[in-house]
Structure 1
Amino acid sequence: MTPDEIEALFTRSDGDYFFARWGRPLAPVVFGVEDETLGVVKGAFEAVCAAAGHSMAETDPELGANVMVFFFRDWQELLAVPDLDRMIEGLGPLVTRLEQAGANQYRVFRFDEQGAIRACFVFLRMDAELSQVPAETLALGQVVQSMLLWSDRAFTDRSPLARLDEGRTVLRPEISALLRAAYDPVMPGMAQDASHALLLSARVQAAPPPA
């Protein structure tokens, strides 16, 4: 990927460059699915964290779970989740906006004092469109989009995933390389200057190919 391509992935629609990665191990919890799908989602977290070189944990010492993934049929269901309005300020107006927009997914991030990601809430309204997506593909795509603070336009034209000839869905190789570069210990947890894309590009180029 060129520096310009990387920069575009973290440049928001308002023109601001904003990158952030997790500053702690991921401790996910999933609501609203059966055990079979739960295993698929957790497997996706494990696969993407391994690709990025990031770690997972059973619990977060501060939050318990720091990634919450909600599957549901109607946005109004979120208003009935105990204490969710305490974790997400303005939950009621947010639900109204998402209903009016006909949205079927949304992510909310929280950040630590250094600007790195400390928590993520993933909301998936299983409408007709999302219900047609295989569980493995849906889970993998959502986890990738939760690993970094991507631009709101990052994957509107092209998915971060690729489908192999045998039918298996995987991360696109350039996205895996970018994740590994982003989670290199020498890289910052947060960046708001587009020159950061040059550093990411250099890390991608310097990294050895995966085994």
Structure 2
Amino acid sequence: MDHLEIARHFTRSDGSYHFSRWGRPIVPIVFGVEDQTLPVVKGAFEAVVAVAGHKMAETDPELGANCMVFFFRDWKELLAVPDLDRLIPDLGPLVERLIKAGANQYRAFRFDRDGAIQAAFVFLRMDAEMSEQPAETLALTQVVQVMLLWSEQAFSAQSPLALAGESTILRPEIAGLIRAAYDPVLPGSARDASHALRLSARMERAQ
């Protein structure tokens, strides 16, 4: 993966480059799944956080939980979640746009003063497509997509996952990119595409 391909993973549809990683330990909480599914989601977080060399925690001093994952069947269910409209601005109009688009997932982020990720909200509408995915695959895919502020097109052509025998794993180049992104020498956020050169150098050094 050269620096141009790396840059495409963080280049928005308007052509701007925007990279951010978590600036604090991740504290996930999951809503809308059965008890037996919770360890699967937690395991996915633990696996990807370990790849990054980042940390998880039991609680966030400001927010309690800073990574909220919601599973549901209908977007309108979100309108009944207490205080969610305080966390997600313009929740009503957003729900209407997602319904009109036929979307089955949406992610929102909050950032600290330095531009690093402070909180993330993952919304998954379990339509037929989503429901067909094995729980492990679904969880791992979503955790990967919340570890960094990827471009909206980053994984449109190819999944971040691959099969290794009967197991689903991160594609090696994506695992390497996540690991490089969390190198403590690099900044928690960047708006200049030259940052991709630094990521590329870290990946080459790791090899």
Class of the TM-score when normalised by the shorter of the 2 chains: over 0.9
Deviations 1:55-97 (A, max 9, x none): 0001101000000000000000000000000111110000000
Superposed displacement of residue 163, structure 1: 0.9
Q: Is the partner of 1:70 in helix, strand or coil? A: strand
Task: Tell me what 2:201 maps to.
Answer: 202
**RMSD over aligned Cα, in angstroms?**
0.6
- Looking at structure 2, the residues matched to 87 and 15 of structure 1 have their Cα atoms a distance apart, in angstroms, of 28
Task: Tell me what 1:98 maps to.
Answer: 98
Equivalenced residues, count: 207
Deviations 1:116-174 (A, max 9, x none): 00000000000000000000000000000000000010000000000112x21000011
Return structure 1 stretches of 4+ with deviation > 6 angstroms. Answer: none
Structure 1 residues 45-194: aligned runs within 5 Å: 45-165=45-165, 167-194=166-193
Task: Tell me what 2:8 maps to.
Answer: 8
Deviations 1:10-29 (A, max 9, x none): 00111000000000000000
Amino acid at match of 1:33: V
Structure 1 residues 17-56: aligned runs within 5 Å: 17-56=17-56
- Looking at structure 2, the residues matched to 175 and 53 of structure 1 have their Cα atoms a distance apart, in angstroms, of 14
- Looking at structure 2, the residues matched to 57 and 152 of structure 1 have their Cα atoms a distance apart, in angstroms, of 28
Q: Is the partner of 2:175 in helix, strand or coil? A: helix
Amino acid at match of 2:160: P
- Looking at structure 2, the residues matched to 99 and 72 of structure 1 have their Cα atoms a distance apart, in angstroms, of 13
- Looking at structure 2, the residues matched to 52 and 135 of structure 1 have their Cα atoms a distance apart, in angstroms, of 22
- Looking at structure 1, the residues matched to 114 and 36 of structure 2 have their Cα atoms a distance apart, in angstroms, of 37
Gaps (5+ residues) in structure 1?
none
**Fraction of identical pairs, as percent:** 72
Superposed displacement of residue 36, structure 1: 1.1
Gaps (5+ residues) in structure 2?
none
- Looking at structure 2, the residues matched to 3 and 114 of structure 1 have their Cα atoms a distance apart, in angstroms, of 24
